[in-house]
Amino acid sequence: MSEAVYPVGIVGGGFGALLTHTALRYLGFESREIVVLGDQPDPVATYRAFAWGLGQTVLRSESESHFLPADWPTFAVMDLLARRRLSAVRRSISRTFNPAVPDILAEAHAVAELTGYAQSFARCRVGEVIRGEGRAGPHFGLYDEEGRLRARARHVLLAMGHGPLAFPGVLGTARRDPALAARIVQAYEPKRYRPGGRYVVVGSGIAGVNEWVNVLLAGAECIALRRTPEPDEQDLNVPRCLFEAYGIDAYQRLDHAQRLQILAKVLKGTTPERRGWQELIAEGYRKGTFREVIGEITEVRSGPEGLVVDIRLGAGGTTGPLHVVGVSCATGFDKASASVPILRRLIERYDPPMEGPRIALDSNCGVPPLDRPDSRLAMIGIHANIVVPNGDTIAGLKYIARRFAADVLRAEGRRRRPFLARTRMHFRCTRRAVADIRALPDTPQLS
Ligand SMILES: Cc1cc2nc3c(=O)[nH]c(=O)nc-3n(C[C@H](O)[C@H](O)[C@H](O)COP(=O)(O)OP(=O)(O)OC[C@H]3O[C@@H](n4cnc5c(N)ncnc54)[C@H](O)[C@@H]3O)c2cc1C
């Protein structure tokens, strides 16, 4: 380990890390001044695995969800440039264009390559972040899981993505039982539905609806189980107004308890309104291959089909023993900060203020009491959505990444990269992304 202190360190190597690296490079830092410590060299690997597990082909979000250093061109314009057609631009005017997953991944790769992400990256599973002072000035030591110091950096962004997948109630216990585990999967995990088989899908968020459709498309039967009677009709995890700067500012003025209340309301039970999906589900209703049940699984055991489950119904009573092949949980991730080892250690060592199970970040996503203007420690992604409600979407990640990069530039007393150099960087990324997208097969829109 060298004695050097990097100006910036990023812990985690996913979308948040890539967007922050891009923002820092665009503003003026060189790749050698940034260290990204992650366990995956490919910044799209984690998201891609979840998206494949879910069968996602187009983003839920819209044309602005892209990885280029500057805001324009949006994805609809990139599609126009790559495929020489107007349909995406036309759709984006009525906000019904959703970028294709292969296209955004190609763009992310192009940006990573041209901004020198690999030169900043070092493979490491970070176990602990510790405040350091002394001759090197205020900084953070970044230690791997074996306790070895791997890098030191003045400003650190924690970008580790989601905590572990959540399995509610008895399903959590059943998942730990080797005899049952293989039959209880998460929506984000790879899986195959058997034609003619019967499956329970728990959860009615976007991932849940996606699984209903995957079950029906496989020619299987779906029991859609949810705890609340009425899901909202939203196309994204949070209402559109909260995606805009005004919404974020208004949200940031609330105290933590009020923020949590809003999050609990808007992040749960949302379902997208997709024409293709609705038709399939309507057909499932007609043919008796799709049923909705409000209640909770109270018992799980092995059975001839795979599992036998019992559901306590919201309206009273139980279903009695139901023979099913498996259960898919579209119940998301454990959002408690302590479910992520590095955050658990940070809580134990520094005792940051908490809001329920989550670290109560400052409104600039700083981690109190460690964050300070001359040596920032901030968080991005799902653990920052207590401050930025869409912190786990590409738009929200970008919002946090850019503000963090600007703070670091200011703290380091650095000048911005000159306008022409920035523009050249941006257009090289755009040109390359367009060429790479052009080489990809077209992905149909769903709505
Ligand atoms: C199925 C799915 C669909 C989505 N669809 C959309 C969409 O349509 N539009 C949209 O805007 N957003 C979407 N999102 C949300 C969002 O874009 C992703 O969750 C995004 O990947 C979050 O970026 P991140 O950097 O926080 O986490 P990730 O991309 O998950 O990256 C975190 C990385 O850090 C690594 N890591 C974790 N702990 C450590 C450690 N201790 N040391 C080193 N490395 C570590 C992880 O292995 C991972 O590689 C979707 C998410 C999912 C799961």
Instruction: Give, in order, the Cα–Cα distances in Å from 102 to each of 18, 179, 213.
Output: 17, 37, 21
Of all protein residues, the one whose alpha carbon is nearest to atom 51 of ligand 1 is: 47
Contact 154, 61 (CB under 8 A): no
Q: Do 305 and 175 meet the contact criterion of CB atoms below 8 Å apart?
A: no
Same fold across 6-163+335-438 and 170-231+269-329: yes
- Provide the b/e sequence for 118-138 (b: ≥16 CB within 10 Å): eebbeebbbbbbbbbeeeeeb
Q: Which of 145, 393, 397, 447 to mutate to test the pocket of ligand 1 (most atoms within 8 A of CB)?
A: 393
Whether CATH 3.40.640.10 fits 170-231+269-329: no
Of 128, 144, 148, 160, best ligand 1 pocket probe by most atoms within 8 Å of the beta carbon: 160
User: What is the pLDDT at residue 391?
Assistant: 92
pLDDT at 254: 65
Domain residue spans in the chain?
Answer: 6-163+335-438, 170-231+269-329
Residue-wise burial string across 386-422, b where 16 or more C-beta atoms lie within 10 A, e elsewhere: bbbbbbbbbbbbbbbbbbbbebbbebeeeeebeeeeb
Cα 117 to averaged position of ligand 1 atoms, centre (Å): 17
What is the model's pLDDT at position 252? Answer: 57
Give, for all 447 residues of the chain, the pLDDT tens digit.
Answer: 557 999 999 999 999 999 999 999 999 999 999 999 999 999 999 999 988 887 788 888 888 889 999 999 999 999 999 999 999 999 999 988 999 999 999 999 999 999 999 999 999 999 999 999 988 999 999 999 999 999 999 999 999 999 888 899 999 999 999 999 999 999 888 889 999 999 999 987 777 888 888 899 999 999 999 887 655 444 344 444 444 444 555 655 666 566 556 655 554 433 444 446 777 888 898 999 999 899 999 999 999 999 999 999 998 999 999 999 999 999 888 889 999 999 999 999 999 999 999 999 999 999 999 999 999 999 999 999 999 999 999 999 999 999 999 999 999 999 999 999 999 999 999 999 999 999 999 998 876
Which residue do the tokens 């020619």 mark?
Answer: 219
Atom number of ligand 1 nearest to Cα 16:
25
Asked if CATH classification 3.50.50.60 holds for the domain at 6-163+335-438, the reply, yes or no, is yes
Q: What contacts 215, CB < 8 A, 6 or more positions away? A: 193, 199, 201, 221, 222, 328
**DSSP collapsed to 3 states, 156-215:** EEECCCCCCECCCCHHHHHHCCCCCHHHEEECCCCCCCCCCCEEEEECCCHHHHHHHHHH
Question: Cα 156 from chain centroid?
Answer: 20
- Distance from the CA of 189 to the center of ligand 1, in angstroms? 14
Q: Rounded distance, CA 295 to CA 430, Å?
A: 49
Q: Using CA atoms in the order 375, 379, 380, 381, what is the torsion angle rounded to 10 degrees?
A: 170
Q: What is the pLDDT of residue 430?
A: 98
Helices then strands, counting H and E runs in the chain, come out as 14, 18
286: exposed, middle or buried (C-beta count within 10 Å: 0-12, 13-18, 19+)? exposed
Closest CA to 100 of 54, 49, 50, 66: 66
| pLDDT for the residue 273 | 43
What is residue 256's predicted lDDT score, i.e. its pLDDT?
58
pLDDT at 233: 42
- Is 137:372 a contact under the CB 8 Å cutoff? no
The angle formed by the CA atoms of residues 341, 345 and 346, to the nearest 5 degrees, is 115
pLDDT given at position 235: 38
pLDDT on residue 34:
98
- The pairing of strands 149-158 and 139-144 is antiparallel
Chain mean position to CA 275: 25
User: Which string of DSSP letters, residue by residue, matches 93-130?
Assistant: HTT----BHHHHHHHHHHHHHHHTHHHHEEE--EEEEE
CA distance 232 to 243: 17
- Distance (angstroms) between ligand 1 centre and the Cα of 144 equals 20
Q: Ligand 1 pocket by C-beta < 6 Å: which residues?
A: 11-17, 37-40, 46-47, 50-51, 54, 56, 59-61, 65, 125-126, 159-162, 188, 342, 381, 392-395, 397
